[in-house]
Structure 1
């Protein structure tokens, strides 16, 4: 799904993800998954950059065997500055939590990679959060 990059993009993502996962009967915590999608989209808007059409992309994929949820967000910025600190947050953060703390809170995993086009040219990045069912 394409989302227009705006200050309300994270909230819009949360509002769209919750019913999709509910209708799809995902067995995990739908509210936390929606919040993680919100934070991924918000980070793409705040720290990344939109594609030339002014959007970022959000995908939800459920693993058929493990039932884990993969949330992916693409944006046009080719780097994830500070990824190590964000990815290694625990649930017991002292001081200010960053938005992606929610991934750690639900025992999820965070990853990212450079997004390439069909010619192999870097066109942005994909940030992924994998959330367990329980």
Structure 2
């Protein structure tokens, strides 16, 4: 059986503000391979419970799964040696009650990001946006790679 990723209480990545500061956040490292999907689903269920997020847990799990899948598929350059192939998943709530999901990978490039979010190029980020998330990306101040962020408001998705 695969062990769960560690539960770390660390500051959320400090870029791309959501409009309100993060109230509480947790971060974990995930392998840069398909195991990350299972591990992220288990981990996010636990974290949204710990954070007492007042939103749809299944919606949060689906958003995390799509972001992690994109990170595994497109965010690990082939030049990165296997021991260094990993993603960083951070989950936080802000003062408005929104859930902030960050998935950081090792590839700074993201051609046609807006087209991906609108569904013109692939469907992963479009599916995250269709869950009611505001999807953005940014480059970290330190280090390499990029972070894709999804912000989910609490409560049901408005149709």
TM-score (ref. length: structure 1) = 0.82
Q: Quote the Cα distance in structure 1 between the aligned partners of 2:122 and 2:145.
A: 26
Q: Which runs of 5+ in 2 are unaligned?
A: 1-27
How many pairs are equivalent?
124
- Alignment partner, residue 134 of structure 2: 109
Q: Quote the Cα distance in structure 1 between the aligned partners of 2:140 and 2:59.
A: 26
- Alignment partner, residue 99 of structure 1: 124
Whether 1:130 and 2:151 are equivalent positions in the alignment is yes
TM-score (ref. length: structure 2) = 0.70
Q: Quote the Cα distance in structure 2 between the aligned partners of 1:46 and 1:97.
A: 12
The 3-state SS of whatever aligns with 2:70 is helix
Q: Quote the Cα distance in structure 1 between the aligned partners of 2:112 and 2:70.
A: 12
Measured against aligned partners, the alpha-carbon deviations of 1:60-103 in whole angstroms (never above 9, x if no partner) come to: 01012x101110011110111231112224xxx9xx96122332
Conserved 8 A contact 1:113-1:125:
yes
Counterpart pick for 1:70 among 77, 96, 100:
100
Q: Quote the Cα distance in structure 2 between the aligned partners of 1:99 and 1:87.
A: 8
Deviation at 1:14, TM superposition (A): 1.2
Conserved 8 A contact 2:116-2:122:
no
Measured against aligned partners, the alpha-carbon deviations of 1:37-59 in whole angstroms (never above 9, x if no partner) come to: 11111101101117762211000
The 3-state SS of whatever aligns with 1:116 is coil
Conserved 8 A contact 2:90-2:101:
yes
Conserved 8 A contact 1:13-1:41:
yes
Q: Which runs of 5+ in 1 are unaligned?
A: none
The 3-state SS of whatever aligns with 2:53 is coil
Counterpart pick for 1:6 among 33, 38, 58:
33
Matches within 5 A, 1:22-61: 22-49=49-76, 53-61=84-92
